Amino acid sequence: MPHTKRIAELLLNIEAVKLSVDPPFTWTSGIKSPIYCDNRMLYSFPEARKFVVEALASRVESLHIPPDVIAGTATAAIGWAALVADELDLPFIYVRSKPKEHGTQKRIEGFLKPDQHVVLIEDLISTAGSSISSVEALRTEGKAVVTDIVAIFSYELPAALEKAGEANVQLHPLSTFTALINLACDNGEITPDQFALMKRFAKDPEAWGRAL
Protein backbone atom coordinates (compact mmCIF):
# COMPACT_ATOMS: atom_id res chain seq x y z
CA MET A 1 0.00 0.00 0.00
CA PRO A 2 1.71 3.22 -1.17
CA HIS A 3 2.17 6.13 1.22
CA THR A 4 1.26 4.03 4.29
CA LYS A 5 4.52 4.41 6.21
CA ARG A 6 5.09 8.03 5.22
CA ILE A 7 1.62 9.10 6.37
CA ALA A 8 2.16 7.30 9.69
CA GLU A 9 5.52 9.05 10.02
CA LEU A 10 3.97 12.47 9.38
CA LEU A 11 1.23 11.89 11.94
CA LEU A 12 3.78 10.93 14.58
CA ASN A 13 6.26 13.69 13.72
CA ILE A 14 3.76 16.54 14.03
CA GLU A 15 2.11 14.89 17.06
CA ALA A 16 -1.26 14.57 15.35
CA VAL A 17 -1.28 11.11 16.91
CA LYS A 18 -0.75 10.39 20.57
CA LEU A 19 -0.20 6.90 21.98
CA SER A 20 -0.77 5.92 25.60
CA VAL A 21 -1.70 2.72 27.42
CA ASP A 22 -1.54 4.01 30.98
CA PRO A 23 -3.68 6.02 31.05
CA PRO A 24 -5.62 5.28 27.87
CA PHE A 25 -7.67 7.88 26.01
CA THR A 26 -11.45 7.93 26.27
CA TRP A 27 -13.32 8.59 23.04
CA THR A 28 -16.67 10.41 22.89
CA SER A 29 -18.33 7.00 22.52
CA GLY A 30 -16.84 5.96 25.86
CA ILE A 31 -14.40 3.50 24.29
CA LYS A 32 -11.02 3.30 26.01
CA SER A 33 -8.25 3.56 23.46
CA PRO A 34 -4.43 3.59 23.31
CA ILE A 35 -4.53 6.11 20.46
CA TYR A 36 -5.88 9.58 19.81
CA CYS A 37 -5.65 10.99 16.30
CA ASP A 38 -6.29 14.60 15.26
CA ASN A 39 -5.71 14.86 11.52
CA ARG A 40 -6.68 18.54 11.57
CA MET A 41 -3.10 19.14 12.72
CA LEU A 42 -1.93 18.25 9.21
CA TYR A 43 -3.57 21.38 7.80
CA SER A 44 -1.04 23.53 9.66
CA PHE A 45 2.07 21.96 8.08
CA PRO A 46 2.31 22.84 4.36
CA GLU A 47 4.73 20.04 3.40
CA ALA A 48 2.70 17.38 5.20
CA ARG A 49 -0.57 18.82 3.89
CA LYS A 50 0.69 18.76 0.31
CA PHE A 51 1.87 15.15 0.64
CA VAL A 52 -1.48 14.03 2.07
CA VAL A 53 -3.49 15.79 -0.64
CA GLU A 54 -1.36 14.24 -3.39
CA ALA A 55 -1.65 10.82 -1.76
CA LEU A 56 -5.44 11.13 -1.46
CA ALA A 57 -5.70 12.25 -5.09
CA SER A 58 -3.48 9.37 -6.23
CA ARG A 59 -5.66 6.88 -4.37
CA VAL A 60 -8.81 8.34 -5.95
CA GLU A 61 -7.24 8.07 -9.40
CA SER A 62 -6.44 4.39 -8.78
CA LEU A 63 -10.07 3.41 -8.10
CA HIS A 64 -11.96 1.18 -10.51
CA ILE A 65 -14.48 3.89 -11.45
CA PRO A 66 -13.33 7.47 -12.19
CA PRO A 67 -15.40 9.85 -10.04
CA ASP A 68 -17.53 12.67 -11.35
CA VAL A 69 -17.56 14.49 -8.02
CA ILE A 70 -15.48 14.59 -4.82
CA ALA A 71 -17.42 14.81 -1.55
CA GLY A 72 -16.22 15.55 1.97
CA THR A 73 -17.81 14.80 5.31
CA ALA A 74 -18.51 17.70 7.64
CA THR A 75 -16.62 19.10 9.25
CA ALA A 76 -13.19 17.54 9.46
CA ALA A 77 -12.90 16.32 5.86
CA ILE A 78 -14.37 19.35 4.07
CA GLY A 79 -10.93 20.91 3.63
CA TRP A 80 -9.31 17.67 2.46
CA ALA A 81 -12.04 16.96 -0.07
CA ALA A 82 -11.90 20.51 -1.44
CA LEU A 83 -8.12 20.29 -1.84
CA VAL A 84 -8.38 16.88 -3.55
CA ALA A 85 -11.11 18.13 -5.89
CA ASP A 86 -8.88 21.07 -6.80
CA GLU A 87 -5.92 18.73 -7.37
CA LEU A 88 -8.02 16.53 -9.69
CA ASP A 89 -9.96 19.44 -11.27
CA LEU A 90 -13.28 17.90 -10.22
CA PRO A 91 -16.48 19.34 -8.71
CA PHE A 92 -16.65 19.45 -4.93
CA ILE A 93 -19.56 18.98 -2.53
CA TYR A 94 -19.85 18.24 1.16
CA VAL A 95 -22.27 16.33 3.36
CA ARG A 96 -23.64 17.80 6.58
CA SER A 97 -23.74 15.56 9.65
CA LYS A 98 -27.45 16.38 9.96
CA PRO A 99 -30.00 18.27 7.82
CA LYS A 100 -30.22 22.04 7.90
CA GLU A 101 -32.69 23.27 10.48
CA HIS A 102 -34.11 25.82 8.05
CA GLY A 103 -34.73 26.29 4.35
CA THR A 104 -34.38 23.14 2.28
CA GLN A 105 -33.33 21.00 5.27
CA LYS A 106 -30.83 19.23 3.02
CA ARG A 107 -27.58 17.52 3.99
CA ILE A 108 -25.72 17.89 0.70
CA GLU A 109 -24.15 21.25 -0.06
CA GLY A 110 -23.14 21.92 -3.65
CA PHE A 111 -24.32 20.89 -7.10
CA LEU A 112 -24.90 17.19 -7.72
CA LYS A 113 -26.77 15.57 -10.60
CA PRO A 114 -28.50 12.18 -10.25
CA ASP A 115 -26.42 9.11 -11.14
CA GLN A 116 -23.09 10.87 -10.82
CA HIS A 117 -20.31 8.78 -9.30
CA VAL A 118 -19.08 10.30 -6.05
CA VAL A 119 -15.97 9.42 -4.05
CA LEU A 120 -16.25 10.32 -0.38
CA ILE A 121 -13.18 11.72 1.39
CA GLU A 122 -12.78 11.14 5.14
CA ASP A 123 -10.04 12.30 7.47
CA LEU A 124 -10.42 9.44 9.95
CA ILE A 125 -12.34 6.16 10.06
CA SER A 126 -13.17 4.74 13.48
CA THR A 127 -16.46 2.84 13.49
CA ALA A 128 -17.38 4.35 10.07
CA GLY A 129 -20.78 5.42 11.36
CA SER A 130 -20.54 9.01 10.11
CA SER A 131 -18.99 7.87 6.83
CA ILE A 132 -21.81 5.46 6.06
CA SER A 133 -24.40 8.05 7.09
CA SER A 134 -22.85 10.39 4.50
CA VAL A 135 -22.91 7.64 1.87
CA GLU A 136 -26.60 7.05 2.56
CA ALA A 137 -27.34 10.78 2.23
CA LEU A 138 -25.51 10.92 -1.11
CA ARG A 139 -27.47 7.93 -2.37
CA THR A 140 -30.92 8.95 -1.14
CA GLU A 141 -30.91 12.74 -1.25
CA GLY A 142 -28.38 13.08 -4.05
CA LYS A 143 -29.31 9.98 -6.10
CA ALA A 144 -25.56 9.44 -6.48
CA VAL A 145 -23.52 6.30 -7.05
CA VAL A 146 -21.09 5.81 -4.15
CA THR A 147 -18.80 2.78 -3.98
CA ASP A 148 -15.62 4.06 -2.32
CA ILE A 149 -14.45 6.02 0.73
CA VAL A 150 -10.87 7.29 0.71
CA ALA A 151 -9.49 8.29 4.11
CA ILE A 152 -6.25 9.54 5.61
CA PHE A 153 -6.24 7.09 8.52
CA SER A 154 -8.16 4.10 9.87
CA TYR A 155 -8.23 2.60 13.35
CA GLU A 156 -9.03 -0.72 11.61
CA LEU A 157 -11.96 -1.47 13.91
CA PRO A 158 -14.10 -4.51 12.98
CA ALA A 159 -17.23 -2.34 13.22
CA ALA A 160 -16.00 -0.18 10.33
CA LEU A 161 -15.49 -3.13 8.01
CA GLU A 162 -18.87 -4.54 9.01
CA LYS A 163 -20.69 -1.27 8.32
CA ALA A 164 -18.87 -0.79 5.01
CA GLY A 165 -19.80 -4.31 3.94
CA GLU A 166 -23.45 -3.75 4.80
CA ALA A 167 -23.43 -0.50 2.82
CA ASN A 168 -21.59 -2.09 -0.10
CA VAL A 169 -18.70 0.39 -0.08
CA GLN A 170 -14.95 -0.11 -0.02
CA LEU A 171 -12.71 1.64 2.50
CA HIS A 172 -9.35 2.95 1.24
CA PRO A 173 -7.27 4.39 4.11
CA LEU A 174 -3.87 5.84 3.27
CA SER A 175 -2.47 4.63 6.59
CA THR A 176 -3.62 2.45 9.46
CA PHE A 177 -3.37 1.83 13.17
CA THR A 178 -1.19 -1.25 12.56
CA ALA A 179 1.25 0.65 10.35
CA LEU A 180 1.49 3.45 12.90
CA ILE A 181 2.20 1.32 15.97
CA ASN A 182 4.70 -0.76 13.97
CA LEU A 183 6.58 2.43 13.11
CA ALA A 184 6.31 3.76 16.68
CA CYS A 185 7.78 0.51 18.02
CA ASP A 186 10.58 0.51 15.43
CA ASN A 187 11.42 4.09 16.41
CA GLY A 188 11.45 3.30 20.13
CA GLU A 189 8.46 5.54 20.84
CA ILE A 190 6.63 2.63 22.46
CA THR A 191 8.05 -0.53 24.04
CA PRO A 192 7.52 -4.04 22.62
CA ASP A 193 5.18 -4.75 25.56
CA GLN A 194 3.16 -1.64 24.82
CA PHE A 195 3.08 -2.60 21.14
CA ALA A 196 1.70 -6.05 21.97
CA LEU A 197 -0.97 -4.53 24.20
CA MET A 198 -1.94 -1.89 21.63
CA LYS A 199 -2.12 -4.46 18.85
CA ARG A 200 -4.98 -6.22 20.67
CA PHE A 201 -7.05 -3.02 20.74
CA ALA A 202 -8.18 -3.02 17.11
CA LYS A 203 -9.50 -6.58 17.30
CA ASP A 204 -11.97 -5.85 20.12
CA PRO A 205 -11.87 -2.28 21.50
CA GLU A 206 -14.52 -2.80 24.18
CA ALA A 207 -12.87 -5.95 25.55
CA TRP A 208 -9.49 -4.15 25.45
CA GLY A 209 -10.85 -1.34 27.64
CA ARG A 210 -12.45 -3.74 30.10
CA ALA A 211 -9.19 -5.65 30.51
CA LEU A 212 -7.21 -2.61 31.66
pLDDT at residue number 129: 93
Domain ranges of the chain: 4-206
- The pLDDT of 70-81, averaged and rounded, is 96
pLDDT at residue number 202: 87
Q: Report whether pLDDT(1) > 60.
A: no
Phi and psi angles of residue 153, each rounded to the nearest 5 degrees, phi first: -150, 145
Per CATH, the number for 4-206 is: 3.40.50.2020
Residues written for the chain = 212
pLDDT single digits (tens) 134-174: 999 999 999 999 999 999 999 999 999 999 999 999 999 99
Taking each helix axis as running N to C, give the angle between helix 4-13 and helix 46-61, from 0 to 180 degrees, rounded to the nearest 10: 150
pLDDT single digits (tens) 88-106: 999 999 999 988 777 677 9
